Structure 1
Amino acid sequence: MTTAAVSSATVTTTPLGRRRTPLLTLLPADGALAWVRRGEGLVGWGEADRLEVSGPGALAEAGAWWADRCARTEVRDPLGVPGSGPVVFGSVAFDPQASTSVFVVPEVVVGRRDGRTWVTVTGDAGSEERAVVETSPQEAATSIGRLAYADGALDPMAWCGAVSTAVARIDAGELAKVVLARDLFVTADRPLDPRRLLLRLGERFPDTWTFAVDGLLGATPELLLRRTGRVLESRVLAGTARRGAGADDTRLAAALAGSAKDRSEHAYAVDSLVAALQPFCSELEAPGQPTVLTLPNVRHLASDVRGRQRDDDPSGLLELVGAVHPTAAVGGTPTARATEVIRELEGMDRGRYAGPVGWLDARGDGEFGLALRCAQLTGAEGGRQARLFAGCGIVTGSDPTAELAETQAKLAAFQTALED
């Protein structure tokens, strides 16, 4: 575990009325933190505290650390809404035993919910207005020049071979589903400005959650778990089809809705989430049939799951996140065997890709999605390099060439932000 020295702090939330300034335009070039959808959510910057943790007890350790910090914090919060008061942003490793999870407490958070805007400052309670005005960036760089792409752990042919191996193992009865991902490196002529990327992602994909934590940026359509009081909500996505033009687009949508292969893949994801949440809930509802979620680049089968946490259950949001992750949407079924196959066939460490990402406040409310459609900005090449990720669910009947095309469609979400 790595953490900054923690001392008692004063955290002050101040209402700012109905300001219309887009949240993502407030971010500085360095240390951007974000969780924004349809113009609402949270952005933050500065580091009042930080935790880096790994191992099987990573989320329990992070939950205890956050509870301890909140217990020693003087809070001035007249709003008392989810996201006001003390907030921590988190990005959790897909495999906590293999990689490190990161939690950051910002010095400044600006939030917006139901049209109301506020700023939360750790420390100097007289600096709320100054914090928003003085840290607002100038216009982000408009060009990063030419881009050069390079294969990650596996080139396309090798990755298709991994898919074929996975299908053979599924057909042999070793497992029912596994999610295989691939990575791609991109190097730009000039440093990559996270503000530019986040703004472009937010503009192109307003119905996703645009996120940034410790250099991991993306726009995820999948909500792993939201907790508001005792109410729990999740949006499960599994089963994907590319977009087309005109009549072809309509045909592709109908084919996805009626695809036995995609519906089977989706059912595994919903069932795994419900089974993991059931012990914590007094009520839990999942739709009998998925709907089709349409995004600019792809379509997904989607199911919105809603439940109520038992009144006698003391689990915090991070504990619940740990209980449901990884779902079959990013891991597979059964979970343990799928994780072994991922380690064997992918040939890479996912890091925080496909792990939970989001925020948590001092009341225990928060939102965590899955870090999809994302890239990890690196210090390589003077800040000019990023590592992109995309994956897809493999089940009986999966075709390696079609699965490769699906990853390319998903990679295009971030590539568009780079290349526009």
Structure 2
Amino acid sequence: MPAVNAPRLRARTIEVPHSGDLLRFASPTSPLVWLRQGDGIVASGSAWRGEFTGETRIPDSADAWRQVVEAADIDDTVKATGSGLVAFGAFAFAAESGARSVLEVPELIVGRRGSVSFVTAITADGSEPKPRLPEAQPFGETDATAILEDGLMSSDEHRRAIDRALDLIHTGHLSKVVLAREQRGGLPAGADRRRLLARLASAYPECWTYAVDGLTGTSPETLVRVLERQVSARVLAGTAPRGADEEADARAQARLRHSEKNLAEHRYAVESALASLETLDTHDDPGTGLTSSRVPFTLKLPNLWHLASDIRGTLPTGVTVLDLVDALHPTAAVGGTPTPAALDAILALEPFDRQRYAGPVGWVGAGGDGEWAVALRGAEIDASGSITAYAGGGIVASSDAADEYRETQLKFRPIVEALRGDAEDESRRRGGKTTR
């Protein structure tokens, strides 16, 4: 276990009156945000930060977090999801990435779960934490808008990369590989990034709206969730655009449900997730293990249909949510099958660093619980406001390059429209609702 310079953090949580719009309590320039359907946690400041790299970045973070928790003094009478000592986290997709993988313990957290609102104050200097609900801050005048343009992976480059991926599949080197492309832009100086997050949360309320260390987006895919030792994970693989009207939408849903190509892609992803989790599943009673539904269901989002499967079970003894994150990442839904060959192909075929796109993003609590999503439908936004957005799709033997390019265009839409300032329009066109 690597030694960590872990200060003796002190955390105190109190219940407070209904907090209203949580985004009003986040930092305008460096928000820490984890929201779904208006509930979640937002934070500001930094009491402790760990950075991790390489192949062992996730297990190293899990070891570091254990050391931080062991040294901490925690007073949490609220005991709601996300209360007490919490670290926000975001991890690079690949071991070779130049992007930093981080755990960040903030100084102040404002949260809400159902009817319970709370505030956690955290200190690192030995002083007594003094939690109180801060004054909500109105959004700044400068909006977080930008126009994105294609980066290194142009449409022609994307087609050539898919052709090379299909060669690897047809020659037996791979069953599936996920290839991404990127778009780039920049925020205006002084932009209030909470405006961007508000549009994402409004348009996609059923997704996880996240912001950690500049990684920003709204993900439909739960990597893993542990609450009171109950584990749930959601696998998404297989995609179709929504129809223009109710009848066309029903046809699109039916086609996806019976598409051999998408069902095969989904099956690879579910089998990969279960195989990864089996390495941690040490239950003696098979009835308490981690299992998946046999048949995927269709998940409706404002602009897409997905094939989805849920995995459920009980957390094995001695295991934390970060151990599950390490076991699951990368899933076949964002990497491919077999995993080592798919990751090699991604490095060879994508002319850019994915950074933390398709990596784990979420939070971990002192008791080992937490919520983590796959960082999709979003972008890396650095301190200067430079934006790199990503979208990808799974390539299997029956893939068509033109169809795959159109799929990435659909997957770019949440972040593109939010940056353009019109993400709410999509929600209104779909009635403001999505279905899990």
Same fold (TM over 0.5): yes
The aligned residue for residue 224 of structure 1 is 223
Percent identity reads 39
Of 341, 353, 360, the residue aligned with 2:357 is: 353
Question: 1:312-327 to 2 correspondence within 5 Å?
Answer: 314-327=318-331
Of 312, 315, 320, the residue aligned with 1:306 is: 312
| Residues in 2 aligned to 1:188 and 1:113: alpha-carbon distance in whole angstroms | 32
The C-alpha deviation readout for 1:5-48, integer Å capped at 9, x for no partner, is: 6421221000114x050212221212211111111111111011
The C-alpha deviation readout for 1:151-209, integer Å capped at 9, x for no partner, is: 22211111111012111211221110000011100235555432011100000000000
Judged with a 3 Å threshold, the aligned counterparts in structure 2 of structure 1 residues 346 and 25 are, in CA distance, closer, same or farther, namely: same
- The 8 Å contact of residues 358 and 374 in structure 2, kept in 1 or not, is answered as yes
- The 8 Å contact of residues 89 and 362 in structure 2, kept in 1 or not, is answered as yes
- The 8 Å contact of residues 91 and 358 in structure 1, kept in 2 or not, is answered as yes
Q: What letter matches 1:297 in structure 2?
A: N
The aligned residue for residue 280 of structure 2 is 280
Of 314, 327, 333, the residue aligned with 1:329 is: 333
The aligned residue for residue 427 of structure 2 is none
| Residues in 2 aligned to 1:280 and 1:309: alpha-carbon distance in whole angstroms | 9
CA shift for structure 1 position 4: 9.9
Q: Secondary structure of 2:308's partner?
A: strand
The aligned residue for residue 289 of structure 1 is 295
| Residues in 2 aligned to 1:144 and 1:323: alpha-carbon distance in whole angstroms | 35
Q: Secondary structure of 1:207's partner?
A: coil
CA shift for structure 1 position 358: 0.3
| Residues in 2 aligned to 1:225 and 1:144: alpha-carbon distance in whole angstroms | 30
The C-alpha deviation readout for 1:190-239, integer Å capped at 9, x for no partner, is: 55432011100000000000000000100000000111233211011000
Q: Secondary structure of 2:279's partner?
A: helix
TM-score (ref. length: structure 1): 0.93
Judged with a 3 Å threshold, the aligned counterparts in structure 2 of structure 1 residues 35 and 379 are, in CA distance, closer, same or farther, namely: closer
Aligned Cα root-mean-square deviation (Å):
1.9
Q: What letter matches 2:257 in structure 1?
A: A
- Unmatched runs of 5 consecutive residues or more in structure 2: 284-288, 422-436
Judged with a 3 Å threshold, the aligned counterparts in structure 2 of structure 1 residues 378 and 310 are, in CA distance, closer, same or farther, namely: closer
The aligned residue for residue 128 of structure 1 is 131
TM-score (ref. length: structure 2): 0.90
The C-alpha deviation readout for 1:391-411, integer Å capped at 9, x for no partner, is: 011101111111111101111
- Unmatched runs of 5 consecutive residues or more in structure 1: none
The aligned residue for residue 207 of structure 1 is 206
Judged with a 3 Å threshold, the aligned counterparts in structure 2 of structure 1 residues 320 and 148 are, in CA distance, closer, same or farther, namely: closer
- The 8 Å contact of residues 253 and 299 in structure 1, kept in 2 or not, is answered as yes
Matched, 1:407 2:411: no
Moved more, 57-66 or 178-187: 57-66
- The 8 Å contact of residues 144 and 190 in structure 1, kept in 2 or not, is answered as no
Q: How many residues align?
A: 409
